[in-house]
Amino acid sequence: MQVLENISLKPYNTFGIDVKARYFAELYSDNDIAEFYSSLTPERIPVLILGGGSNVLFTKDFEGSVACIRSKGIVKLMDDEQHVYLKIAAGEVWDDVVKYAVEHGWGGIENLSMIPGSAGAGPVQNIGAYGVEFKDVLYSVEVADVISRHYRSFRPADCEFGYRGSIFKTREKNRFVINSICLKLDKQPVLKLDYGDIRKELVNAGIRDVTISSVRDIIIKIRSRKLPDPAIMGNAGSFFMNPVISADEYDRLITAYPLMPTFRSGEAIKVPGAWLIEQCGFKGKRFGDAGVHEHQPLVLINYGNATGEEILALAEKIIKSVKKKFGITLGKEVNIF
């Protein structure tokens, strides 16, 4: 394990923001993680653990240590009649895990195809798409506690999962390093096709015998059409969350905007942030090298040399505009540093 100094983080965040980390290390194993933490001196703190760097926006140099988790490995721990339990190292690329599961015919995460980032970021963000959330397939998360220096296992009920959040992002942010996750997948997959246009897309593609493999293919198709590839255009997926509104707010808004789309998630009423941003006229707009994506306005773009501050300024402008027009405050999904 090597600690480097004054390293550009441009290759390590999908927004492609060029800031420096005072200290930087790539950690390939649990041993590396342990060694890294025992080498920490006060000037090397704070520590930021990065997975795929697909949910961060850097607005300035990071004056502590940035560590990238690079551990690899997918192991079948056990199985029974219905389920298979996979242990996955935190540094695995999430979509490689989805591909592996689908190739083996194990269901549960096919709807989470093509989400950028690492497996270890799954529980932090409670990643979600097309009607499935990470918490639905999780069996356990294995972590190192950087305070007590002990290893611990979290079951889903301990993770305080919420919409794009968990204990690892909120109450205990920075306390635990995720070493691996264990997923519980179905040997007899149950297809989840009710979200948005999935069924319609399958019909359009002429697919009758729907399998997890065809679901993965269709989702990759939808995502490639709507969401920009970070390798081509810097972005961090949805920059904002879809706001949850109260029943009173709903009544007020639907009277003023009868065409406002909404969807229910449990008791909560959500409004698509994409619609709110579009109504405020930001869809496809560009301000220098910072912009709003032309197909999915929840996504902010770095067209080349935008700074993190420019992206953040655009985000604040959008938040202000949505607040003024609709009285709704958009929350950020991306972590700002």
Residue number closest to ligand EPU, CB atom? 237
Place of tokens 């090397």: 44
Neighbour-count burial of 304, counting CB atoms closer than 10 A to its CB (0-12 exposed, 13-18 middle, 19+ buried):
exposed
When binding is defined by CB under 6 A, the residue of 68, 86, 129, 167 that contacts ligand EPU is: 129
Residues that bind ligand EPU (rule: CB under 6 A) add up to a total of 19
Site string for ligand EPU, 202-241 (x = CB under 6 A): ------------------------xx---------xx--x
- The residue (of 48 and 198) whose beta carbon lies closer to ligand EPU is 198
Q: Where in 130-149 is the site for ligand EPU (CB under 6 A)? A: 130
Whether 164 sits among the annotated catalytic residues: the reply is yes
Q: CB neighbours (10 Å) of residue 60? A: 12
Q: Cis before residue 46, ω within 30 degrees of 0?
A: yes
Select from 302, 303, 292 the least CA-distant residue to 330. Answer: 292
Task: Tell me the one-letter amino acid at 287.
Answer: F
Torsion of CA 275, 279, 285, 290, to 10 degrees: -60
* Eight-state DSSP code of residue 10: G
Shortest distance (Å) from residue 39 CB to ligand EPU:
33
Of 164, 166, 201, 216, catalytic: 164
Q: Which residue has the tokens 């399958």?
A: 202
Residue whose CB is less far from ligand EPU, 227 or 306: 227
CB 212 within 8 A of CB 102: yes
Using CB under 6 A as the binding rule, whether residue 242 contacts ligand EPU is answered as: yes
Our finding on whether 317 is near ligand EPU (CB under 6 A) is no
Q: Can 238 be counted among the known catalytic residues?
A: yes
Question: Judged by CB under 6 A, does residue 25 bind ligand EPU?
Answer: no
User: Binding pattern to ligand EPU, positions 260-299, x when CB under 6 A?
Assistant: -x----------x-xx--x----x------------xxx-
Encoding tokens for residue 180? 């691996």
Question: What is the spatial distance between Cα 117 and Cα 92, in angstroms, rounded to a whole number?
Answer: 9
Contact predicate 181/159, CB 8 Å: no
- Does residue 196 bind ligand EPU (CB under 6 A)? yes
Provide the binding-site residues for ligand EPU, judged by CB under 6 A.
Answer: 129-130, 196, 226-227, 237-238, 241-242, 261, 272, 274-275, 278, 283, 296-298, 333
Active site residues: 164, 238, 333
